[in-house]
Amino acid sequence: MSHTSALEVPEFRVYMVAAVFGTMAIWMARFLYGWMVWQYTESPFWVGVASAGLLLPSLIVTPIFGVVSDRINLKHGIISWQFGQGLITGVTAIILAFNPLSLPLLMALIVTFGIVASAGSPLRLTILPKLVGKNRLSSAVGYGAILFNTSRVIAPALSAWFLASFSELSLLWLCTIAFSVAALINLNLPNFRQPTDKPNAMPWYSEFVVGVKVSWHSPFVRILILLTLLNSFTGRTLMELLPAFSGSITQGTAADLATLIACAGVGSIVGGIFMSRQRNEIGRLKNILLASLILSIVFIVILLITHSLLIIAISIGFISLLMTLFGTGSQIILQIQTDESTRGRVMSLWLTIAIAGPAVGAFVMGWITEISSFNVTFILMVTLSAICCFLLMSHQHKVAKKNLS
């Protein structure tokens, strides 16, 4: 099967143009809300609370909207989601134009934005196969990863320049306009028919349980979700701990941390480009997952034995690349192997674990590092990665043995 680009599909091109505006706006808004809290409090604690307010709602909202995405017209869902985010940044701008924001009001707006922003992930995961079909799914997911990771690097820098040149109010209006443009562009998307057997009778939590049962009864989906959970305690957690790692292993300067973050960002972008060129062959994708796990062990071991900033930065870049390969590869396999009628629920389960895992992993591994050292943490990460390799190889061996019989 030859490689086919998702950009050959007109509907996907429309979606990606809108996603450029929407994704940049999300990262700019996140940066701006954190900056506003810092300006108000000058407290790292409250900045951390703001970050939690933006991210933690996804643990509740994502499963709910996994069910919703199996019930609604996805075009209308995507447009409503983007207009909703723009509405919140617009309301923030209107309030700020007349009065300084109090901390409780600002935190309420942040949590509201986090809730609405979290609703989009299952909608986006569910609409991709409908836009491009399964043959171009690897390409579509890869392009999405490129956009996500590029925006994560560019948007904060653009926001910082905008704040220095203009004002917080101006940046809020820019975010509002970008969200609105994204929603308007997506008006050109086709209307997707809802499944004929769409779930309407049961409440959302019952439907989410159905998604859990579907995942559990599929051997490879079950093992893939387990691998995602275990892997989130390794490379992805390491990315969350980069500030502490930079401070304890390198010289601890802002320049050192910026170098590591930049290398991680470049690695993610390269990983997205690589996955955008892959074919939708399950066997090949499984091999990519296995290779990414094995090579991540190699680069984590390198972190154990070196204090050279150059080697550490290169290793961080490769680990970030490999985590992107694992994350996008897992998503593609799940998208291919999941039935359309339950895709939203299965993908929301995977996404919840993918989001919650690094947050919990950062807490656990950070605590372990606090009472011991990064060397102990790295050894644990290597051990977990080795367990993931064993589980995946065992599955592949069982599949090969079954095919031979």
Environment class of residue 402 by beta-carbon count within 10 Å: exposed (0-12), middle (13-18) or buried (19+)? Answer: exposed
Note whether 199 and 67 are within 8 A (CB).
Answer: yes
What would the pLDDT profile of 124-160 be if each residue is shown by its tens digit? 888 888 898 877 888 888 888 888 878 877 887 788 7
**pLDDT class for 358, splitting at 50, 70, 90?**
confident
pLDDT-derived band at 1 (thresholds 50, 70, 90) equals very low
Least confident stretch, 50-54, 170-174, 243-247, 283-287: 243-247
Which residues fall within 8 angstroms of residue 91, CB to CB, at 6 or more apart? Answer: 109
- Per-residue confidence at 23, pLDDT binned at 50, 70, 90? very high
Q: 146: closest CA among 30, 263, 270? A: 270
CA atoms within a 13 Å half-sphere pointing along the CA-CB vector of 275: 35
Give which of 401, 70, 359, 379 is closest to 236, Cα–Cα: 359
Do the Cβ atoms of 115 and 55 come closer than 8 Å?
Answer: no
Token match 């940066």: residue? 31
The mean pLDDT value of the chain amounts to: 83
Percentage with pLDDT > 70 across the chain: 89
| pLDDT given for residue 382 in this prediction | 93
pLDDT one-digit tens code per residue, 263-275: 888 888 898 888 8
**Are the C-beta atoms of 134 and 336 separated by less than 8 Å?**
yes
- Between 401 and 197, the more confident residue is 401
- Residue 397 above 50 pLDDT? yes
Contact 28/174 with Cβ under 8 angstroms? Answer: yes
To the question of pTM greater than 0.75 for the whole model, the response is no
- pLDDT of 213 strictly over 90: no
The tokens of 158 are what?
A: 């653009």
Q: Does 193 score more than 70 pLDDT?
A: no
Q: What whole-number distance in Å separates Cα of residue 22 and Cα of residue 9?
A: 20
> Tokens at residue 218, please?
């599929």
> Do 389 and 294 touch, CB atoms closer than 8 A?
yes
Distance between CA atoms of residues 264 and 258, nearest Å = 10
More confident residue, 32 or 195: 32
Winning range, highest mean pLDDT, from 80-89, 242-251, 324-333, 336-345 = 80-89
Interval 105-131 mean pLDDT: 89
pLDDT over 90 at 79, yes or no: yes
Are 171 and 32 spatial neighbours (Cβ–Cβ below 8 Å)? yes
